[in-house]
Structure 1
Amino acid sequence: MSTGWTVFIVVLTAFNILGCAWLLWWTAKRRPGDPKPEETSHYWDGDITEFNKPMPRWWINWFYLMIVFGIGYLAWYGGLGGIDGLSSWSSHDEHALAKAADDARLEETFAPYKGRPIDQIARDPAAIKLGQSIFSNNCATCHGSSAQGAIGFPNLGDDIWHWGGSPEEILTSILDGREGVMPEWGTVLTGMGGDSAVISVVAYVRSLSDPARSKDYLAVQGQRLYEGVCIACHGVDGKGNTALGSPDLTDDYWMYGDSTAQLTQSIAHGRHGVMPAWRDMLGETRSRLVGAYVWSLSHPGGETATATATPAAQETASQ
């Protein structure tokens, strides 16, 4: 705190303390010429009189003691701007001590899960409850309290993972975040196929998850455009690429909506999705607990990671 503010607070505090003491002294004494306590001229029902007596001496003395106590409190604990108290106590240090104690208790609680794979942690009901609590405090803002997501935020309760669904890939998504970018293709596609190019690609993309549409005129036209632009990320078969976060277009899940307007927006103007990195905020162990909770949502029976793990992860698990 600056010197100017410290001086202002000291002067203001001294003015208030001295003002209270002066007001108490001024109003507690009677002076020559003052009317007697019963001479207020306030009467009711003939025999009820309002008196104006001074406060009892014990009350006045107690008030003086409170003023002295306030001065002592300020001297001991501080409170006059940047001037430290005689005890050197500060709320900052008090908070640091309380935080250190709480962190130690949390560390003890989380210690059993340190370094363990999230699919193993997910078998522990107590760990799932901890992970759910951490999820509710940090992740529910985007993914919802039930982790079902919303437009632009993925559903974590299904088996669709744009960045991969192995335990290692899920943990990486939480710790280091993800950034998915769908470029704007409207101008490029229009240059290749005219004004109907974007809607033709929309028709073809729809046909990937609904083969009955594959013979539609627009879908046929859109396939050529798709193969000229989109296969670099989504692949020839539309299965996507988890290394890039590009979604599988053959399923029935559309993170940004499946209406014609929403798909047109995605293709013509692009999308930019960001999953924040939580390594610094949560730390690795708490991130593992969140990952275990998320894993349990799509593996309610406690299945192991063998079916969806990467070959490297399967080799590691078998060693």
Structure 2
Amino acid sequence: MSAGWSWYVIALVAFNILGCVWLLWWTARRRPGDPAPTETSHVWDGDITEYNKPLPRWWINLFYLTIIFSIGYLLWYPGLGAFAGYGGWTSQAEHDLEKSRQDARLEETFAIYRGKPLPELARDPGAVALGRGIFANTCATCHGSSAQGAIGYPNLADDIWHWGGQPEDVLATVMDGREGVMPPWGVVLRGMGGEQAIDQTARYVLAMASPDPAALRDFDAVRGKKYFDGVCVACHGADGKGNASLGAPDLTDDYWMYGKSMASLRETISNGRHGVMPAHGEWLGETRSRLVAAYVWSLSNTQAAGTGDTAE
């Protein structure tokens, strides 16, 4: 707050306080020549008279005490422009104090799960319930309440893991985040075979995931393999199975995070993709990260987790 605005607020507050004091004094005093409280000339039915008696002195004094209290309050707490107040109170400090209290209560709740392996947590109904609650608060915005994802956000309820599906992989994803980058190959492929090179590469990628072996013998798919071998094998491998250490997905399954259409594949190949999973370790802490990771891992490892059913 600038000095000008600060003085404006102080003046406005002082004006209102002084106005209240003047109003009390002006309305409470009696002047020479004022009619008696019983002489209002307001009479009904011959014997019902309206009086104009002043407030009792003790009542008026309570108003003055209220004004004095308000002045003390404004001096103790920051109520006068940029003045910080003699009490040193701030909303940030109040928030931090309350947060530390609530964090301490949460730590007591989560203490029994500290350091436990994910498979063990996944077999504990209480731990899974806590993990589900953490997931709903922090992960469902992107992955959905059922963890089945959306366009651009992976499905966590299946058995496909772009960064590895071992418990330690899932925990690392939650705590440290992931950043998957598919480079834009449009310029390179156009230099190798023109605009059709992008289409033929996309055709080959679709053919790899097709259950019909004949799809790989299609003319465009055959030409596309040449381009695939030239620019894509470094990450996705010669067989298209991907590389979990890079986050490069398996192109031979039938899961397509950005869609299976030719338009989507052309966009991916030409302009690339950049997916970011934020790191939650600092925010959630290790124990809560373990709980939510155990819940996610249990969705696709139902037998190991002992749930006996799927999230779907």
SS at match of 1:189: helix
Deviation for aligned residue 1:172: 0.9
Selected match of 2:245 from 243, 246, 251: 243
SS at match of 2:217: coil
Q: Could you tell me which amino acid in structure 1 is paired with residue 239 of structure 2?
A: D
Distance in 2, Cα, partners of 1:227 & 1:240: 13
Q: 1:34 to 1:236 in 2, by over 3 A?
A: same
Q: Could you tell me which amino acid in structure 2 is paired with residue 27 of structure 1?
A: T
Q: Could you tell me which amino acid in structure 2 is paired with residue 63 of structure 1?
A: F
**Corresponding residue for residue 308 of structure 1:** none
**Corresponding residue for residue 282 of structure 1:** 284
After superposition, where does 1:1-319 map in structure 2 within 5 Å? 8-32=8-32, 54-77=54-77, 79-80=79-80, 81-85=82-86, 89-212=89-212, 213-303=215-305
Q: Could you tell me which amino acid in structure 1 is paired with residue 243 of structure 2?
A: N
Identical aligned residues as a percent: 63
Q: Could you tell me which amino acid in structure 1 is paired with residue 19 of structure 2?
A: G
Q: 1:58 to 1:262 in 2, by over 3 A?
A: same
**Corresponding residue for residue 310 of structure 2:** none
Structure 1 residue runs without a partner (length 5+)? 305-319
Q: 1:275 to 1:15 in 2, by over 3 A?
A: same
Q: 1:289 to 1:303 in 2, by over 3 A?
A: closer
Q: Deviations over 1:157-199 (max 9, x none)?
A: 1111101110111111111111111111112112212221111
Q: Is the 8 A contact 1:182 1:272 kept in 2?
A: yes
Deviation for aligned residue 1:126: 1.1
When the two chains are superposed, the root-mean-square deviation of aligned CA atoms in Å is 2.8
TM-score scaled by structure 1? 0.84
Deviation for aligned residue 1:93: 3.9
Q: Is the 8 A contact 2:74 2:85 kept in 1?
A: no
SS at match of 1:263: helix
Distance in 1, Cα, partners of 2:45 & 2:158: 82
Distance in 1, Cα, partners of 2:111 & 2:192: 58
Distance in 1, Cα, partners of 2:199 & 2:43: 92
Distance in 2, Cα, partners of 1:183 & 1:99: 42
Q: 1:46 to 1:229 in 2, by over 3 A?
A: farther
SS at match of 1:301: helix
Deviation for aligned residue 1:257: 0.7
Distance in 1, Cα, partners of 2:48 & 2:122: 79
SS at match of 1:133: helix
Q: 1:177 to 1:38 in 2, by over 3 A?
A: same
Q: Could you tell me which amino acid in structure 2 is paired with residue 217 of structure 1?
A: F
Q: Could you tell me which amino acid in structure 2 is paired with residue 257 of structure 1?
A: G
Distance in 2, Cα, partners of 1:256 & 1:89: 50
SS at match of 2:195: coil
Q: 1:10 to 1:220 in 2, by over 3 A?
A: same
Structure 2 residue runs without a partner (length 5+)? 307-312
Deviation for aligned residue 1:57: 4.1
Deviation for aligned residue 1:5: 6.1
Deviation for aligned residue 1:254: 0.4
Q: Deviations over 1:110-152 (max 9, x none)?
A: 1122222222211111111211221122111211122111110
What is the number of residues matched between the two proteins? Answer: 303
Q: Is the 8 A contact 2:77 2:84 kept in 1?
A: no
Q: Could you tell me which amino acid in structure 2 is paired with residue 119 of structure 1?
A: P
**Which piece of structure 1 moves more, 138-147 or 268-277?**
138-147
Distance in 1, Cα, partners of 2:37 & 2:240: 97
